[in-house]
Amino acid sequence: MSGNSQRVVITGTGAVSALGGTTDELWEGLLAARCGVRCLPRFVTAGLSVTTGGEVDAAPHHQTDRDEVMASLAIEGALSSAALKAEAVGFIWATGLDTFQIGVKGLEYRSAGSCFNALAQKFRGPQRMIATACASGTQAIGEAFRLVKSGRAEAIVAGGSSAMLTPFYLIGFAGLQAIAVDEAGGDPTAACRPFDRQRRGFALGDGAGAVMVETLASAQLRGATPLAEIVGFGMSQDAFDLNRPSDDGVGAELCMRRTLQDAGLVPDDVQAVNAHGTGTFAGDLAEAAALRRIFGEAGVPVSSVKGAIGHAMAAAGALEAIVALKTCATGIVPPTVNLNEPGEGCELDHVIGKPRQVDARAVLSVSFGMGGQNAAIILRRMLD
C-alpha cells in the first residue's frame, strides 16, 4: 500500500476529444460506438501518406494556441464540476511535445514547457509537468494520487493535453511504422482497430483530459460528490527497446501487478480494464499477453477508446481514466470501436459492438509509453 493516510477521490472531470468538448459527449459517443477519427483534408492537400486523425473541433487546426485552448477547456471542466478554484489546488499536467503549428501568420513554434507554465500560473500547491510519452496522462493522475494520499496536497488538477495532429508527427510516426497509413479506398473512420485482426497502427488524436484529485475528507467537508475512489498506482519500465515492447509484455505486466499491490487488491477484485489498446501490431500483442497472464484465460471485460478518438498521447491516459471512472459509476463498459475480430494473440474478453453491463466495483486503466514507461491506476466505485 502506498502509505496509510488519506483516501483519495475524484470530484470533477473535463474531457475534450474528437467526440466532443465535454465528458458527457465523450461518454455518450463511446456508448453509441461513434468514431471521431476522420479524414483531414489539409493532410490530403499536403500529400501525406496519413490523412486521418481524431481532431478536436473546439480548437480549430489553424488556431496556433490550440494546445493551450484544449487544455484550458478540460481544466475548466474539472474545476467547475468539482466546484473548486484553481487558486485552491495544485496542478500536475502533461502537455505533450513541442510542436510547430501553421496558422494564418505562418509557422509558429509551440513549446510544451511554455504551455505548461502558462496553464500553471493560476494554480497554487504542487505543480509538475509530466513527460513519459503515452503514459504521461495516467502518471499525472497517479502522481497526484500519491501526493494527495500522503497529505502533501489536499486537491490537485491532474491530466494531460496533446496537440499533435501536425505533418511532422504524422510523417515521423509513419516512419516508425506505428501509425495507420492510408489504404486505397479505405474507410478513414476505421483507421485505428485496437486488437483487431486487421489492425495496422494507431490514428493520432488531439485532446485533453483533466480530473480533480482530492482527499475524501476534503470532498465531504465541502459537500462535494466523489465520483470514484483512486486506490492504486504503479509504474514500471520495459528497459527493452525505444520503439516497441517485448512480445510477452513483461513490462506492462509488472506495472499492473505493482498497481494491484499498491491497491491491496488481487486480479479477481477487478471487473473491467480500460486498455491502452493502440492498434499497433506489437503493442496490442504485448498488452494482451500481459492481461491474460494476470487475469487468466476467462479474463475480465476489456475495452479501448482509441478506435473512437485516436491516440491522444499525453492526454490519452487522462481521457481513459475518465472513461474508467464512468464505468465505475455506471457499471457500463463501452465497446472498442473498430474491433470486429480479435487478431491472433489478442484474444481477451473484449467488449465488441455494444456496451456491456458489469458490476464494476474496481476498474484498471493502463497506459504504456513509447520508450518503455508504463503506468496504471485502479479506480473503485464509491461504496460509502
Partner 1 sequence: MIHLIAAAIKNDIAGVRETSPELWRQIRRYNLPVQLALAAADEAAKAAEDPAKAALFSLAPCQSGSPELHQWTQAAAASGPNGHIGNLRVNPTHTLHAVDNLGLSAFAIMQGNHEYCLGLGGAAGQAWCGLEAVGERLLAGCETEALLMAGDQEGEAGRNGLGIALLFSREPKPYGRTGRFVKVESVERIRLGEMISVQPHAAAGLQAFVAGIHHGGSGRVAYEVAAELGNGMDKITIILEIT
Which residues bind to partner 1, rule: CB under 8 A?
2-3, 45-49, 94-95, 97-98, 100, 102, 106-107, 109, 111-114, 116-117, 120-121, 124, 126-133, 136, 139, 143, 146-147, 150, 152, 167-169, 171-173, 175-176, 235-243, 251, 254, 369-373
Least distance in Å: CB of 229 to partner 1? 20
Selecting among 61, 115, 192, 276, the annotated active-site residue is 276
Active site residue 62: no
Closest approach of partner 1 to the CB of residue 265, in Å: 19
Q: How far is the CB of 332 from partner 1 (least distance, A)?
A: 33
Known catalytic residue at 311? yes
Distance, CA of 147 to CA of 140 (rounded, Å):
11
| Closest distance to partner 1 from the beta carbon of 167 (Å) | 6
| Cβ closest to partner 1, residue 100 vs residue 187 | 100
In the bound complex, what is the minimum distance in angstroms from residue 132's beta carbon to partner 1? 4
Distance CA 170, CA 191 (A): 13
C-alpha cell at 53: 486523425
Q: How far is the CB of 94 from partner 1 (least distance, A)?
A: 7
Residue that the C-alpha cell 486506490 belongs to = 231
Q: Quick one: 27 or 123, whose CB is closer to partner 1?
A: 123
Q: Which is nearer to partner 1, 160 or 277 (CB)?
A: 160
Task: Given the residues 35, 61, 115, 134, select the one marked as catalytic.
Answer: 134
Query: 343: which DSSP letter?
Result: P
- Is residue 188 within 8 A of residue 37, CB to CB? The reply is yes
Residue 152: exposure state from Cβ atoms within 10 A (0-12, 13-18, ≥19)? middle
Residue 74 · residue 58 · CB < 8 Å: no
SS3 state at 332: strand
Nearer Cβ to partner 1 (41/185)? 41
CB count, 10 Å around CB of 275? 26
Q: Which amino acid, one-letter code, is at 239?
A: A
Tell me, yes or no, if 276 is annotated catalytic: yes
Residue 99 CB, nearest distance to partner 1 (Å)? 9
Q: CB–CB of 58/70 below 8 Å?
A: yes
Closest to partner 1 by CB, 31 or 48: 48
Degrees, nearest 5: CA angle 66-370-18: 35
What is the number of other CB atoms lying within 10 angstroms of the CB of residue 10? 30
Rounded-to-integer distance, Cα 161 and Cα 144, Å: 16
Which residues on neighbouring strands pair with residue 162, listed in sequence order?
207
Nearest Cα to Cα of residue 340 among 320, 358, 354, 323: 354
CA distance 163 to 161: 7
- Kindly tell me which of 127 and 220 has the beta carbon lying closer to partner 1: 127
Which of 311, 328, 346, 350 does the annotation list as catalytic?
A: 311
Return the closest-CA partner of residue 327 out of 33, 30, 9: 30
User: At a CB cut-off of 8 Å and minimum separation 6, what does 4 contact?
Assistant: none
In the complex with partner 1, which residue's Cβ is closer, 307 or 317?
A: 317
Return the active site residues: 134, 276, 311
